[in-house]
Every structure is written in structure tokens, then in C-alpha cells.
Structure 1
Amino acid sequence: MLEWIKNYHTILQILISFATLGIWIFYAQILLAQHRRTRRPKILINQTRGRSLHSRFLVSNMSLESVHIEVILVGLHNDDDETWYLVSDWEPTRDDNCADTNDYGTFQGPLAAGSSLDIGDIKGLISQRHAEERDQENHTSNASIVTKDGIACSAFEIMVVGVYSSEKGVIGASRTFDIDKYGHVHPRDAETGQCRSRNERRRMQELHRRYL
């Protein structure tokens, strides 16, 4: 055995060197992947205060740095049809003290790491916050989707579009909530979807361009 090692020690040294290099590359990839995960932006959209149309929604920034919120959109889904509303800007009223707003009537601005933003309930977001589109004479979708008794749709999606320092372009997250026949609101998925794939980012950017 010792004689065999003596004869092939050069080859063994080369093999050991390659094995050591492979181990270092493996651990370097793990550290790089972990670093990328920690640097990625993460936005959560959660439902609080019950499961009704009066439930309130929180936007939380779980990233390492602040996220600047560009727009917040709500899409109402009914069968194969969907209608989107810009809910991050509106004309301030005396009823706006129920959500985390400022004097200009907007949710836009930086959201610090670990902070949450109360954007209100879905009925308020649609019926109160989107005054411009609601007041258009030719806009008729409100009559079929939003009524005085509630929201006549099967699901709605909340999408948050923002800017993060370490990411190119806009970043965002969305979450869909289903409404059953009793008016109960439930999240469709267990967690908020982060818009990171190419198709998701393309869809988000298209909605961003349309409503910004």
C-alpha cells in the first residue's frame, strides 16, 4: 500500500487539490446564495381584524433596507374579467384617519425595514380612495363590480410596486384574496408572492406603466 502511494503520490496530490477546490466552490456558492437571499427585497401583504370585507390589510417591509413604495394597485377579479384601481393616491377626506396616510392622501414614500403600513380595508380602498376614476362619466365598471352593499366579485388582488436600492427597475409583491358567498375573505395562498420571475415582473411593469 505504501509502495502504491509512493508511486502515485503526484496523481493523489492532484486529486486531493481538485477535491479541496470543489469543496471551496461548493461552500462559496452556498454563501453567495445566502447573501443574495438576504439582499433580496421582501414585501408581505397580510390580512388583519377578521375575515370580512372590513378586514384591514398591512403592507410590511421584511427587507434589510427601506423600500420606496411607488404605487399600490387593487385588481378585482370576476370570472375571466378583471378591473384594476390605483389606490395609493386620492383626495384626502375626513375619513382618511383610519389608515396610515399623510396630509397629501398617499401611501407613496419610503417604508423602513421591519415597518408596516396599514392601507385600510378593501371597501374603503375601492369606494373612497379611487375618487378620480369613480367620478369619470364614462367609467361604468364600478356599477357592476362595486355596489353599496359590498364588492360583487369573487376575488381581489393587492399589488405593491416599489423601488429597492440593490435591484434594477421596479420590485413588487402581490397577494390574492378570495371572497366566498357569505362575504368572507380568505387569502388564496399561504404567503405573499414576490414578483421575481420574468413573466411576473413584465406583468407588474405593465400595470405600473399604465397607472403611474
Structure 2
Amino acid sequence: MWTWILDNAAALSVALNAAMLLVWLAYLQLFLTSIRRSNRAVIHIDMAAGQNEDARCIVTNMGADTVYILGVKVDLDCDGDAREALVTDVLEEDGPLGGDFRERTNQGPLAGGEAMDIGSFHNIVDRAAMRMGEDISLTTCHSVEITVVVAAQ
């Protein structure tokens, strides 16, 4: 047995080095996958505090890094007609921006693990109707799709 190993030492060395290279490549793949996953922005949009139109729409940053919310877009399917509007700003008043800017807009930074209430679904549809200048109510809509646009590192 030992003589066979000594006679084939060069071939065994090449085979074992190739196997070790495959193990290191597998480790490298796991390492790169975990880095990519930890740096990815994941945004979760859900309803809270109810199951009707007065339920709150909550946007949560499930990633580790801070993201910046650029806008909130609503797609409405009302009476067979598709409509869309940006509802990023909360209030439609033209007064000065005193106090916390988060009271007037949904734009801004959202830290990792942080959640933001962007309003009730009834309020969001009302804001979209105001933006479009149409008389739309949540009861006439078949579907409401909310898209949050974020900028991540």
C-alpha cells in the first residue's frame, strides 16, 4: 500500500489539490452569497391595526442598511379603469414646512429594522384621487397596489 502511494504521489497530489480547490471555491461562493444577501435592501409593505379600509399601511425596511424612500406610487383598478398616482406627500397644504418634515411627506431615510406608517388605505386612495382630480373612493376600487421606491447603497 505504501509503495503504491509513493509510486503515485504526483498524481495523488494533483487530485488532492484539485479537491481542495473545489472546497475553497465552495467556501468563496458561500462567503459572496452571504455578503450580497446582507447588503440587499428588502422592503416589506403590509397592513396593520385592522383588516378594512381604516387599516394602516406600514412600510418596513427589513435590510440591515438605511434606505431612502423616494416616493410612494398607488395603482388603482376602479370600475375597470386603471389609474396611478404618486402619493408621497401626506398633506396638500401650502403652508411652511415647520416642525418634523415626516408629518408632511413619506420621503426620507428609513433605518434597518425601522417601520413607517404611510397612512390608512382610505387616506391613501383619497390622496391619489386628489392628485388625479377625480372622484374615486375605495369602495369602487377592485384592487389597490402600493409601490414604494427606495434608494439603497
TM-score (norm 1): 0.63
Distance 1:154 1:133, change over 3 A: closer
Distance 1:115 1:49 in 2: 17
Distance 1:81 1:18 in 2: 62
Match in the other structure for 1:157: 145
Task: Decide which structure has the larger Cα Rg and report it.
Answer: 2
Match in the other structure for 2:107: 108
TM superposition shift of 1:131: 3.0
Distance 2:79 2:31 in 1: 45
Distance 1:155 1:162, change over 3 A: same
Amino acid in structure 2 at the alignment position of 1:151: T
The runs of at least 4 consecutive aligned structure 1 residues that moved more than 6 Å come to none
* Structure 1: stretches of 5+ with no match in the other structure: 94-99, 135-141, 166-212
**After the TM superposition, which residues 1-212 of structure 1 pair with which residues of structure 2 at under 5 Å, given as runs?**
1-78=1-78, 81-89=81-89, 90-92=91-93, 102-103=102-103, 105-128=104-127, 131-134=130-133, 142-143=134-135, 146-147=136-137, 150-165=138-153
> Taking every aligned residue pair, what percent have the same amino acid on both sides?
31
Distance 1:19 1:80 in 2: 61
Please give the per-residue CA displacement for 1:7-42, whole angstroms capped at 9, x wherever unaligned.
Answer: 111100011011001101101101110110010001
TM-score (norm 2): 0.85
Q: Is contact 1:123-1:151 (8 Å) kept? A: no
Of structures 1 and 2, the one scoring higher in RCO (CA 8 A, sep 6+) is: 2
Distance 2:141 2:128 in 1: 18
Match in the other structure for 1:169: none
SS at match of 1:160: strand
Distance 1:117 1:10, change over 3 A: same
Distance 2:25 2:80 in 1: 49
The number of residue pairs the alignment matches comes to 147
Distance 1:132 1:79 in 2: 18
Distance 1:80 1:101 in 2: 36
SS at match of 1:102: helix
